Structure formats: structure tokens, C-alpha cells
Amino acid sequence: MNAVKIIFTSISMSLYSTLLLKVYLDIFLVKKSRYVGLVGWALFFLWQFCINTEVMYFHPVINLILTLMTILSVGVTSYEGILWKRFTFPITFVMMWMLLEGIGDAGYVYLNNGQNPSFMINSIFAKFLLFLIVMGIRWFVNRHGGGRIPYGGGAYLTIFLLSGLILYPVFYMLVETSDRKGTDSFGWLLMAALILTFMNLSMYPIYLRFVETIQVKRNAHMYVKQLEYYGRQHDLEEAASAEIQEMKHDMKQRLIYLQELVKSDQKDKLLTTLENLIGQSANIGRLESKTGNLIIDAMVNHVWEKTCKKEILLHTKLEIPGVMKIKDEDLGILLGNAFDNAVEASEYVEKGKREIWIEITHEKGYLYIFVRNRYQGKIEHNKGHRLVSRKEEAFHGWGIYSMKKIAERYHGQVELNWEGDIFSLETILYDDI
């Protein structure tokens, strides 16, 4: 009967530890799709079960290493994003957990004249405090925002964390190997544990400040680019307007001249003059897009300028309203990445065969974006699951990654396909949310 109680208690505590770890990591990390990360969670749960039942118990150093290995397997296999975050936050969880056990152990010995607490009492005490701290961290991050960023900066924070990672194992070993007959030493160890706990908790406000700084810089850079696009759009509109005014002014004289050429049956001169008149409409003042939606007009006209310079034939089909619920910054990042990838890939195609097709339509509450381009070379996924080409990485995996994250915000998706010499990118964003 005692064995059944031990197993039941161990399973309950192992599940509790696993769920608490999940709550903590979900604050800062982005989960992978379902079933992908079950291996990491299974390893962590089994190791916790072994510790709680004391079926396997090694030297404290070995136990700490195995705990770190199993918890890191969760971060690596169950979450996505930059690697340093998937390593750092699981380790900070272990640091906090072990520090709380150290506080419980040292405090109990200090207050009870050298008597040692049982493993179960100390474990329950530490897990209860850990629950309160994790809930407090979750509340703090949700209140201030910015916990989860799937990619980008913040790596400087690891320098601060490394100091704690170095200090903690030293403290842990001191607790485990110290003379348990003297309560004074445990008083000092209790104080050291409390100081290190404060250091650990101070990491979270610093982290959020880093995240806030990074986001502000990104937004500033994004808005600067948007202003550049809008400026080019304005210049194009002014040039087109000036061209129309000039053509209107000269139209009467040109029509009179064409009439004379027809009357005198000078067919060659007539054709040459007509070709010159038609060709003038393809100068810098021409607008490829004028839908009334400023961000899409700016982005399409910007890519049109680039394709003209690089001798790429551009085909467009645009049927969109002037105003949508989709944020301009999200649309600008998505279209900018899609267009840049298409132009860069087209540069490696033989001149005369370079083509890009852009279709953007809006109906029944969703925005449909379809971009196709010719490409040359072999496309494959590298070890980081980034889409790359043999030709100088013309297809940028990180750009596509950011596009997918934006699509998820609008419950949409990004689909990639390549067949023959045509690469296509198909995106759906729901505009009625």
C-alpha cells in the first residue's frame, strides 16, 4: 500500500512540475506544432518521476546535470525561435527551482537546530514557492507585454544570465557538501540563496526592457522604410501628373502632325512617330499601381521601379479596397519580403526570360496574395529549415519565417511551391477579424 502511495505521489508531483514548466516557458517561448515536442516533455517527466520515487539517485552534481539535460530537451524540441532563448529560459527555471530548494533546506536546518528536512517536505515547499513565483512572473510579463519574440536581438542578456549560472552551481555544491552540524553556516547559505534568488528575479524586468528597446527600433526602422515608399509613391504620382499635363499640352500639335502624315501617305514616319508616342508612357512617371490603397500602391510601384532597372517583366493583377483592417506595417513587411525575394531570385535568370507575376485580390473578408517568379538553380531546406538556393541564398528563409508569423496574426497562412522554373508564394490573410 505504501508503494502505491509513493507512486501516486510521485506521478502527481512529476505532472505538477511538468505543467509548471510549461506555464513558465509559454510566457517567453513560441510553441511548435502539436506532437512535435512530446519527446522532450516525456524525458523531463520520467526523470522527475525517478527523482521523486528515488528509484535513481546519483551524486548531486550528476542529478543537476541530468535535470539540466532533460529540461533543455524540452526547450530545444518543444519550442521554436532563436536558440539562445530556448536554452536560457529552461536553465533559469532550473536555477530558480534549485535555489528555492536550497532556501528550504538551509532555512529548515537553521531554524530547527541542525535537523534535516525530509526530501518530500523540502520538495513540496520549493514547488509551492515556485508556483507563486511563476504566476507572479506571468502576471508581470503580461502586464508589461513583450514576453515572446520568436526572432531577433536580446542576446546581450545572456551575459547577465551567465553570471547567475556560474554562481548557482557553486552555491548548490556548498549546500550539499557543507557540515550539517553547524547552523551558522546554514544561516549564511540561506542569506546567499535569498540574494541569488533576487538576482534571478531581477533578470525579468531587464529582459522586458531589452525586448521593448528591440521592438521600438524595429518599428522605427519599419516606419522609415514606409515613409521612403510613400515618398517614392508621391514622386511617381507627381511625375505621372506632369507627364499627362505635358502630353495634353502637346497633343493638338502632335495630332495635326499625325494627320499630315496620314494625308501624305508617309507610313514609315507615321509608325515611327506612333512608336515614340507609345514609348513615352513607359518613362519614370508611369504608375504600375493606383488602387487607392496607399501601402499596396507604394509597394507595387517600388517593385515596378526595381524590375524596370533589372529588365524583369512584371505582370500585375490588383483588385483591392482603399482601406482594410490589416495593419499597414504588417502588409508592408509581408509584401516587402515577398517582392524582394522574387526580384533577387529573378536576377539569376537569363535576361529575356525574367518574369514576375503579382496578384493581390480582396473578397469575402480575406486578402489573397499570389507572387510567382522564374528562378534558376536548386531550392532546398538547410539545417535550420530555412529555404535557400544555390545562387547566393536568393530565397531568404528568415524573410519567409517573418511572413508566416504575420499571417498567423490574421489566422492566415503562407504556402510555398516550386515546380519547373517557377517559384510561387501564396498567402491568405483574413481581413474581417
* Domain 289-433 belongs in CATH node 3.30.565.10: yes
How far is Cα 336 from Cα 357, in angstroms, rounded to an integer? Answer: 15
- How, if at all, do strands 366-374 and 355-363 pair? antiparallel
* Closest among 92, 128, 129 to 206, alpha carbons compared: 92
**From first to last of its 433 residues, what are the pLDDT tens digits of the chain?**
577 777 888 888 888 888 999 998 888 887 776 666 688 888 888 888 888 777 666 676 777 788 888 888 888 888 877 777 788 888 888 888 888 887 887 788 777 877 777 777 877 888 888 899 989 888 888 776 655 554 444 445 555 555 555 566 666 556 555 555 556 667 777 787 787 777 777 777 777 777 666 665 665 566 566 666 666 666 666 666 666 666 665 666 667 766 777 777 777 777 776 767 665 544 444 556 677 787 888 888 888 888 988 999 999 999 888 788 888 878 888 888 888 889 988 998 998 899 999 999 998 888 999 999 998 877 665 444 445 554 444 444 556 777 888 888 888 889 988 888 899 999 999 876 5
Q: What are the cell numbers at 9?
A: 505521489
The full set of domain ranges for the chain reads 2-220, 289-433
Burial of 5 (0-12, 13-18, 19+ CB in 10 A): exposed
How far is Cα 7 from Cα 68, in angstroms, rounded to an integer? Answer: 23
Burial of 271 (0-12, 13-18, 19+ CB in 10 A): exposed
